[in-house]
Amino acid sequence: MSRSLQSVHPPLALEARNVRVQAGDREILHGIDLDIPAGRWTSIVGPNGAGKSTLLKAVSGLLRHASVDADVRLMGRPLHGIPARERARSMAWLGQNETAMEELLVHDVVMLGRLPHQAWLAPAGPADFEAVEQALHMTHAWQWRSRPLSQLSGGERQRVLLARALCVQAQLLLMDEPLANLDPPHQTDWMHIVRDLVSAGNTVVSVLHEVSIALQADDMVIMANGRVQHHGACADPATHAALEQVFENRIRVLHVDGVWVALPHWRSRAATT
């Protein structure tokens, strides 16, 4: 492919065609096409129940308890043809409400992110310990390394799970509500981490409820009712219009202090009552 064509069509980290998800007799996703460009941060937003988490799980092959019909390619290769360990090294996942690791120590939880790098039953090596330490420092969680996960607060725990995803050192990171329970300084830290990852050539996809933070991404996917309503650059006025519309004009996208933010549009209702 020529250089000019490559710049028009950047390589895709993830391509999904006709993603349909059915749970019982209900179709949750109605044939979604999604192209995620490599080396960029894409945020996925939309109202509760729009299908954001389902889409992220469906394209990563992690969806259980539902039937998935999708043609997904990871870095140009059919997802189902990639061996499980290689897939786990290429694609890191940070999900919601993981409860299976409560009694593990923080260091051991983060070390789980290194499993795809280790030979079967082989002990962790120096590179694994180094990756764990680096990830725990990046999320400011190193001081809890000897505590069980169950003893941490919601935000502390989230930073440990982020460290686990980071220490996979995958090209593609998929994160479902990564800011859950994080206070504003650690939300900012998370954005810095994402920007550093993207600058290093990685791809980040994050489902976010914090619309102002989602607007700091490169691209935004806006979902409603099991469909993608809009996919565009975060700085594009068409994206802002679609965002306001999907949230029933109850938010306004404004340019404040050099960045785009979304604020609740509550005065209009107060004015009519």
Ligand X SMILES: Nc1ncnc2c1ncn2[C@@H]1O[C@H](COP(=O)(O)OP(=O)(O)OP(=O)(O)O)[C@@H](O)[C@H]1O
Interface with ligand X includes 50 (CB under 6 A)? Answer: yes
Q: What is the largest CA-CA distance in the chain?
A: 67
Position among 30, 38, 40, 53 found at the interface with ligand X (CB under 6 A): 53
Q: Which two tokens stand for residue 71?
A: 């043609």
Position among 34, 43, 51, 204 found at the interface with ligand X (CB under 6 A): 51
**Which stretch in 10-18, 42-50, 150-158, 187-195 sits in contact with ligand X by CB under 6 A?**
42-50
Burial of 155 from C-beta contacts in 10 A (0-12 / 13-18 / 19+): middle
Interface with ligand X includes 66 (CB under 6 A)? Answer: yes
Position among 23, 127, 233, 238 found at the interface with ligand X (CB under 6 A): 23
> Which residues on neighbouring strands pair with residue 36, listed in sequence order?
14
DSSP H or E run through 215? none
Closest distance between ligand X and the C-beta of residue 65, in Å?
4
Helix/strand/coil for 247: coil
Q: Which two tokens stand for residue 44?
A: 């996925």
How far is it, in rounded angstroms, from Cα 55 to Cα 244? 22
How far is it, in rounded angstroms, from Cα 266 to Cα 217? 25
Position among 2, 4, 48, 146 found at the interface with ligand X (CB under 6 A): 48
Pairing of strands 203-207, 41-45: parallel
Interface with ligand X includes 49 (CB under 6 A)? Answer: yes
Interface with ligand X includes 95 (CB under 6 A)? Answer: no
Position among 16, 32, 41, 54 found at the interface with ligand X (CB under 6 A): 54
How many of the other CB atoms lie within 10 Å of CB of 58? 24
**Closest CB to ligand X among 23 and 238?**
23
**Which stretch in 45-53, 82-90, 111-119, 140-148 sits in contact with ligand X by CB under 6 A?**
45-53
Interface with ligand X includes 46 (CB under 6 A)? Answer: yes
Residue at 241: amino acid letter = A
Position among 1, 7, 65, 81 found at the interface with ligand X (CB under 6 A): 65
Closest distance between ligand X and the C-beta of residue 224, in Å?
9
Binding to ligand X (CB under 6 A): which residues in 153-182? none
Closest distance between ligand X and the C-beta of residue 247, in Å?
12
Closest distance between ligand X and the C-beta of residue 195, in Å?
24
Quick note: the x/- pattern for ligand X over 240-259, rule CB under 6 A, is --------------------
Pairing of strands 12-23, 26-37: antiparallel
Torsion of CA 6, 7, 10, 11, to 10 degrees: 30
Of 230, 222, 178, 245, residue with least CA distance to 50: 222
Q: Which residues bind ligand X (CB under 6 A)?
A: 23, 26, 28, 46, 48-54, 65-66
